[in-house]
Structure 1
C-alpha cells in the first residue's frame, strides 16, 4: 500500500469516527425524548388518575386516549430509531476496529520500508566502496609505484623509464575506463536516452563480455513517461533487479544459459530470470547470509510493493511482479 492509499484509509477512519460521534449524540437526544414521554405518561396514569376518580367514573385512559396514543406512537417510533442507531454504531465500531488494525499494520509496514530504503542505500554504498577499493584504488596504487620507479630510471636508463611510463599510461587508461563503467553502473545513460530495453541489452553485453553464457531475452519496449518520478523509480529499480539477478547467475550458477523476460502487462511489470546452473539451498543461503545480491533484490521488490518467487532446485528461476502506478481517471 502506498502513502496516498494509506492517507485515504486515515481519512476514512476520521469520517467514520465523526459520523459515530454525531449518531451517538442523536441517540442521547432520542433517549431523553423517550424518558420525557415515559415521565409524562406515568404522570397521567398515576397522579391524575387518582384525582379524577373522585369526580369522574370513567378511566383516565378513556379521557386522555388520543393524547396517550399519540405519545405511545411517538415513543415506539423513537425506540425503533434508537435501535437503528445502535445497530449503526455497532457496525461503525466494527469498521473502526478493522481500520485501526489496518492502520497499525500499515504503520509498521511503512516503517519497515523506510528501514529497507536506508538498508538498500547502505548496501549500495558498501558495494561501490568495495568495488572501488578492489579495482581502481589498487590499480592506482600500483601505478604510483610505477611512476616512482620511472623517476629512478630516468637518469640511468631513459629507455627503461619510457617503457615504465608507457605501462603507466596504459594502466591509467584502464582505470579511467573502470571508473567510467562505475559511473555508468550508477546511472546508465542509455536508460535516459534510449529507454529500459536498450539499457538492459547493453548491460548484458557488458556483463557477458567473455560470451561464456548464452543470454536469451524477451523484453518489451516499455514507453513510460520518465518525467513521472514514481514511474521512473519503478523502472530504474527493475533495471537494478534484473542486473543483480543476471550478475548472480553469471557469478554463481556455473551454467551456460540465462533467460531474461520483462513483460509490460496491464497492471504489472512481470520479470522472469532463469538459468541452467547448479542452483542452491534457499533456506541455507538465507540462514548463512549468502547470495547477498538476492537479499538486495528482495528488498527492492518489497519497496515497490511487488511479489517475488525463487526456485533454486534445478537451476535458478526467479519470478517477480511489480505493480504499476494506478492512473487517476
Structure 2
C-alpha cells in the first residue's frame, strides 16, 4: 500500500526550506555589505594617508617659499652691487632662487594632484556609504520575512485550504529564489567584483606612477574614475533588479513611467502608457506585484511578439485595479500556453496570490492582450489602499 502523506507536513517542510533559503540569502547579502564596508574602510585609510601627504607637501612649500624669499633678497643685493661680489656669489644667489622656485612649482603640482585624488575618494566614500545603507536595509527586510515565516510554521494546517496547490507554489517560489540568487551572484561576480579587483590593481599602479611620471599617473586615474563610474552603474542595475527603490521613494506611477520610457529607448518598441481613474498609493505588496506584472508583460512583448507598438493601461477603481497590456505583434494560440511558458504562468500565479485574475486574448497575426484584475481587499470599511500615501 502506498504511504499516506500529510499535506500539512509537506507544506511545513517546504516553508522550513523557504525559511532556510531566506536565512542563507540574508547571510549572503550581509557578506556583500561587509565586502563593501571593507572597501569603504580601505578607501578611508587611503584618504587619511593622502591628507597626511598633502599636509607634508604644504609644509614643504611653506619652508621653500621662505628659503626662496631669502634667496631673492640676496639676489637683489648682489645684483645691485655686483662690483662688490664675485661671479660665483652672483651665480650662486641666482641658482638658489631658481632651484627653490622649481621645487615649489613641482610641489604645488603634486599638491593639486593629491587634492584631485582626495576629491575622487571622498565621492567614492559617499557612494559606498549609500550602498552599505541599502544592503543593510535589504538584510533587515529579508529578516522580517524570515521571522514572519518562522512564526507561522506552528499553525500551518489552519492557514491554508488548498494544500496541494500551495505546495506546488512554494516549490516554484523556492526555485525562483534560487534562480534569482544565482543570477544576482553571477552578475556580481562578472560585474562589480571583477571591476573592484581591477580597481585595486589600477589604484596601486597609479600610486607607483605618482613619484615617477605624473602624466601617466593622471591618465591612469582618469581610467580608474571611468571604471568606478561603470561599476556604480552595474551596482545600481543589480539593486534595481532586486527591487526598484523608486517604488518606495516616488511611487508606482513615476516608477512605471521611467521603466516604460527606458523600455521604449532600448527596444525601439513604442509602448503607450495610460492611467485611468483617480490614482493613489497602494500597499507595497500591490505596487511591487503590479510593477512585476507589467515588467513581465513587456518582457514577453520584447522576446516573443515581434511587435512595433503596444499599450499599457492602468485603471484605478474603488474596489479593484485593472491592467491591460496589449501589442500589435504576431500573436499565438492561447491553448499553446503551457508549463514551458513560464513568464505567463508566473504572471497568473502573482495575480492569484492577491486573489486576482488574468485573462489572455491572442490570435495569430492579430496581436495579444492580457487583462488583469486585482481586487482591493476590504478591511473595516476601508480598502487596503487607503493605507498608502496619495501620489
Q: Is the 8 A contact 1:120 1:299 kept in 2?
A: no
In 1: Cα distance, 2:265 partner to 2:357 partner = 31
Cα shift readout 1:111-142 (whole Å, capped 9, x = no counterpart):
52365255235414513532551x44223465
CA distance in 2 between counterparts of 1:201 and 1:218 reads 10
Counterpart in the other structure of 1:215: 271
Q: Distance in 2 between matches of 1:321 and 1:189?
A: 25
Q: How far has the Cα of 1:301 moved from its partner?
A: 0.9
CA separation of 1:301 and 1:161: change in aligned 2, threshold 3 A = same
Give the gaps of 5 or more residues in structure 1.
1-103
| 1:243 maps to 2:300 | no
Q: Does 1:299 align with 2:349?
A: yes
Judge conservation of contact 1:195–1:223 (CA < 8 Å) in 2: no
What are the equivalent positions in structure 2 for 1:1-329 lying under 5 Å apart? 107-109=160-162, 112-113=165-166, 115-117=168-170, 119-120=172-173, 122-127=175-180, 129-133=182-186, 135-140=187-192, 142-143=194-195, 144=197, 166-210=222-266, 212-220=268-276, 221-224=278-281, 231-287=283-339, 289-290=340-341, 292-313=342-363, 314-329=366-381
Distance 2:360 2:224 in 1: 46
Provide the alpha-carbon RMSD of the alignment. Answer: 3.4
Whether the 8 Å contact between 2:247 and 2:287 is mirrored in structure 1 is: no
TM-score using structure 1 length: 0.54
Structure 2 gap ranges (5+): 1-156, 382-391
Equivalent-residue separation in structure 2 for 1:149 and 1:217 (angstroms): 45
Going from structure 1 to structure 2, the CA distance change for 1:189 and 1:146 (only over 3 Å counts) comes to closer
Whether the 8 Å contact between 2:203 and 2:224 is mirrored in structure 1 is: no
**Counterpart secondary structure, 2:338:** helix
1:164–1:130 CA distance, 2 compared to 1 (3 A) = farther
Larger Rg: 1
Query: For 2:266, what is the secondary structure of its paired residue?
Result: coil
Q: Equivalents in 2 of 1:121, 1:208: separation in Å?
A: 32
Distance 1:138 1:232, change over 3 A: closer
Report which stretch shifted further, 277-286 or 198-207: 277-286
Deviations 1:76-117 (A, max 9, x none): xxxxxxxxxxxxxxxxxxxxxxxxxxxx9x955255236525
Distance 1:208 1:219 in 2: 18
Structure 1: distance between partners of 2:224 and 2:345: 39
SS at match of 2:318: coil
Q: Name the count of aligned residue pairs.
A: 217
* Range that drifts further, 109-118 or 198-207: 109-118
Contact 1:147 1:168 in 2 (8 A): no
Q: Deviations over 1:24-79 (max 9, x none)?
A: xxxxxxxxxxxxxxxxxxxxxxxxxxxxxxxxxxxxxxxxxxxxxxxxxxxxxxxx
TM-score, normalising length from structure 2?
0.47
Compared CA separation, residues 113 and 123, structure 1 to 2 (3 A): same
